[in-house]
Amino acid sequence: MTADASIKSSSPRAPVRPFRHLGAIIGGVIVLAIIVFLILFRWNWLRGPLAHAISGRLNRPVQITGDLEVHPWSWSPRATIHGLVIANAPWAGPKPLATLPRLTVQIKLLPLLKGQTILPLVESDAPRVDLLRDAQGRENWNFHPGQKPKPLKLPAINNFLIKNGALSFIDVKHHIDFKGTIASNERVNGYSQGVFVIDGKGSLNKARFIAHVTGGALVNVDPAHPYHFDARAEAGETKVRLVGQIAHPFNFGAFSGILAADGPDLADLYYLSGVALPNSPPFSLKAGFGRNGSIYALRHLTGHLGGSDVFGRLTIDDSTGRILLTGDLHSRKLRFADLTAAFGGAPKKGARTFLSPQQKIVAAKLDAEHRIFPDTHLDLARVRAMDAAIKFHADTIEAGKIPIHGATANLTLKKGVLDVNPLDLGLPQGRVVGTVHLDARGRVPTEAIDMRLSNARLETFAASKKGGPPPLDGVLLGRAKLNSSGDSIRAAAAGANGAMTIVVPQGEIRQAFAELLGIDATKGLFLLLSKSQQETPIRCAVVDFRARDGVLNADRIVLDTGVVLVTGTGDIDLRNENLNFVLKGKPKKFRLIRLSAPITIKGGLTSPKVGVDILKAAPQAALGVAIGVLAAPVAAILPFVAPGLAKNADCSSLLTEAATGPAPVKKR
C-alpha cells in the first residue's frame, strides 16, 4: 500500500482532454488535403479563370481542355497548360486558330520589380497554327477587327523550344498557300552558349519554300541590349537574307540590318513582302533595312536588274493597312531591253543577255508569231492593292539605234490609277516629253498617252552605217496622243484611238534619194552610183496618222523637197502588226526618162519590205494640183504638233504656193 501510495502521489493522473490535439490534426489534414489537391488536380481550379483572362486579352474564345500545372514556390515560377485552344474568327470556319497540346512558361520575379519581363523558358510541344487571310483582306489573327494588327512584341526569352510545330498560312487575296513545319532549339556547340535556331519549310505559291533563322544565345538576353539574328528565306529561285538586330528583345516592331535579295523576277517578291513590284529580268539587290512600327525603310539600295544598275532609297508605309511605297531611284546605265519585262514583254534577239524564265517563254512565243507586242495580262489585283510615289532618273540609256541619252519619270499610283507625269527622255538634240495614264479601277483597264517630240534632228535617227554624212538632216518634231483599253500591251494596241503626227519643217536630203522617190531612173541611180553627196532642201515633210480601233491610217504623207514632191497613203494595223504604204513622187522638173511607179512598203512590223509597183505606173500629174489638194489639211494638223508650226518659214512656203497656184509641170 505504502509503495502504491508513494507511486500514486509521485505520478498523479492527468485529466482526460479528448479534443486537445484536434486543431493540429485538422490543420494537418487541411494542409495534407491541399497538397493532395494540388498534386492530384494540378491547380485545375484555375483553368476557368485563366482561360477567361486569355480570352479577354485576345477578344476570342479560349479553352483549356487539359490539366494546369503550377510551380509557384520559386523566384522563377513556372506553369504548364495542357490543351490550350484558341478559337478562330467567326467568318473563318470552325477550325481553331491555334492548338497547343502543351505550353510551358516560366517568368523571373525580381526583374519585374524593375519593370522588365524576362521569361527563362517558353516551351511548346506540337503546336499548330492556321493563319488565314480571305479575299476581302480579313485576317483571322487580327483579334480586333477594324483595327490594323500591331507588330508582335514579346518579352525577352532565355530558352525558346518548339517541338514538331505546324504552321499553315493561306492568303486568298495574294494567292499564297504555305504549309510548313516549325522547330526551334538552342544548340550548344562545345563550351559556347550555343545559338538559337528556327527552321520552316513548305510551299509558297506552288514553289518550294524554306525559312531558316539563327540568333545568339538566349540564355543571357537582356531587354536593354540588342539581339542579333540572321534570317534567310527561299521561295523557288528567289532568295532573301536579313542580317540584323532587334533593338529591344523581342519587340519585332523595331529592328534593323542589311537586306539582300536576288532572283529571276522582282515581281516574285510580292509573295514574301506583299509589295506589288513590276516584272523584271534577273535581279540582285542589297540595302540597309530598318523597321519602325509600320514603316519599313530601304536605305543605300544598290544592285542590278538585268544589265542595268540601280541605286537609291525606298520606304514602305503600312500604317493605314494599305501599303504606300515611296522612293527615289537612280540608274547610271539603263538598258532599254531590261524595261520590256515591266510591260510583260521580252527584248529583241540582239539584247537577250539577261532573261528570266518567264521572259524566255514570252520571247519564244513572240519569235514564233513574228510579233512585237506581248499579250501578258496585267495583274489588276496587284495594281489596286497598294499606292506608290516613285521618282526615277537614268543618266544614260542603251536603246539600240535609238539615241536616248537620259530619262526622268515621276510615277504615282493611287487606288488603281497610275500616272507617269512627266516622262522625259533626252536625245542628243531635243527631247520626248509627255504623260502616261492607266486606270485599272474598272473590269478592263484604260490607257492614255500624250507624248511630244521637240527640237530633235533627223540625222540622229538616220546616221550612215558606213560613217559618212547622213542621207538627210533637219529639224524633227512629232506628237502622239492615243487612248485605248485592254489588260495587255497587245490588247491596248489593238484598240488604240487618237492621232500621231511627225513633221520635218526644214532640212536637207541627199538628192539621189529625193530623185529615186520620184522614180527618176536616170538621175537618181547615177547620183547613187557616183556616191554624190549633193543635197536638196526639205521644204516640209508631214506624216499624219489617225488611229481608230487599232489601225493607224495615214491619209496625208507629204515630203516636199527641192526636186520632188512625194505624197502617199497607208496604214499600220496594230491588231496584226502589219503595215501597208504607197508613196508617189512628182518631179518638179521635166524628166525625159522617168518611171512614174509607186513605191510600196509592206509586211510585218518585224520585217517590212520595200518595193516598186511597176503595174501601177501612171503619167506624170500636175504638181500644182497636188500641192493645192494637200496644203489645206496640212495647215490644219501642224498646230497639233507645235503651236505656230504652220508659220514656219519652210512649211509656210508649201501653203503659200498652194494659194498662188504655180504652173503645172508638163506631162511627158
Tens of pLDDT, residue by residue over 549-578, are 999 999 778 888 777 778 889 999 999 999
What phi, psi does 54 have (nearest 5°)?
A: -65, -40
- Average pLDDT of the segment spanning 413-429: 94
What is the share, in percent, of the chain residues with pLDDT greater than 90? 35
**316-325 burial, b for 16+ CB within 10 Å, e for fewer?**
bbbeeeebbb
- Average pLDDT of the segment spanning 444-461: 91
Q: Which residues contact 481 (CB under 8 A, 6 or more apart)?
A: 449, 450, 451, 498, 499, 500
What is the share, in percent, of the chain residues with pLDDT greater than 70? 77
Neighbours of 227 (CB within 10 A): 23
Burial class (CB in 10 A: 0-12, 13-18, 19+), 592: exposed
Backbone φ/ψ region at 653: left (φ over 0), alpha (ψ -120 to 50), beta: alpha
**Is the pLDDT reported for residue 223 higher than 90?**
no
Which tens digits make up the pLDDT trace of 321-356? 889 999 999 999 999 889 888 888 888 877 788 888
Question: Which position has the grid cell 543577255?
Answer: 353
DSSP lists the bridge partners of residue 181 as: 166, 201
Query: What pLDDT is attached to residue 265?
Result: 94
**Radius of gyration over alpha carbons of the chain, in Å?**
40
Query: What pLDDT is attached to residue 222?
Result: 79
* C-alpha span between 101 and 126 (Å, rounded): 7
**Is the pLDDT reported for residue 473 higher than 70?**
yes
Query: What pLDDT is attached to residue 662?
Result: 41
* C-alpha span between 545 and 496 (Å, rounded): 12
In three-state secondary structure terms, 301 is strand
In three-state secondary structure terms, 488 is coil
Most confident option among 177-181, 249-253, 609-613: 249-253
E strand or H helix that includes residue 291: strand 283-292
Query: What pLDDT is attached to residue 472?
Result: 76
* C-alpha span between 406 and 622 (Å, rounded): 47
DSSP lists the bridge partners of residue 474 as: 507
pLDDT grade for 668, boundaries at 50, 70 and 90? very low
Query: What pLDDT is attached to residue 10?
Result: 41
pLDDT grade for 238, boundaries at 50, 70 and 90? very high
Q: Of 652 and 306, which is predicted with more confidence?
A: 306
**Is the pLDDT reported for residue 433 higher than 50?**
yes
Please confirm whether the linkage preceding 19 is cis (ω < 30° from 0).
no
**Is the pLDDT reported for residue 182 higher than 90?**
no
Judge contact between 295 and 317, C-beta under 8 A.
Answer: yes
E strand or H helix that includes residue 569: strand 564-573
* C-alpha span between 333 and 405 (Å, rounded): 10
pLDDT grade for 320, boundaries at 50, 70 and 90? confident
Determine the residue type at 381. A
Which tens digits make up the pLDDT trace of 291-301? 999 999 999 99
Q: Of 483 and 382, which is predicted with more confidence?
A: 483
Is pTM beyond 0.85 here? no
DSSP letter string, 114-138: GT--EESEEEEES-EEEEEE-TT--
DSSP lists the bridge partners of residue 156 as: 118
Would you say how long the chain is, in residues?
Answer: 668
In three-state secondary structure terms, 481 is strand
* C-alpha span between 312 and 303 (Å, rounded): 10
Please compute, for residue 265, the number of CA atoms within 13 A of its CA located in the half-sphere on the CB side: 22
Query: What pLDDT is attached to residue 8?
Result: 40
**Is the pLDDT reported for residue 464 higher than 90?**
no
- Average pLDDT of the segment spanning 165-175: 82
| Least confident among 183-197, 381-395, 508-522 | 508-522
DSSP letter string, 24-72: HHHHHHHHHHHHHHHHHHTTGGGHHHHHHHHHHHHTS-EEE-S-EEEE-
Query: What pLDDT is attached to residue 564?
Result: 76
Q: Mean pLDDT in the chain?
A: 80
Question: Which position has the grid cell 498662188?
Answer: 660
Which tens digits make up the pLDDT trace of 612-640? 766 665 555 444 444 444 555 566 667 77
* C-alpha span between 48 and 82 (Å, rounded): 13
Q: Of 445 and 144, which is predicted with more confidence?
A: 445
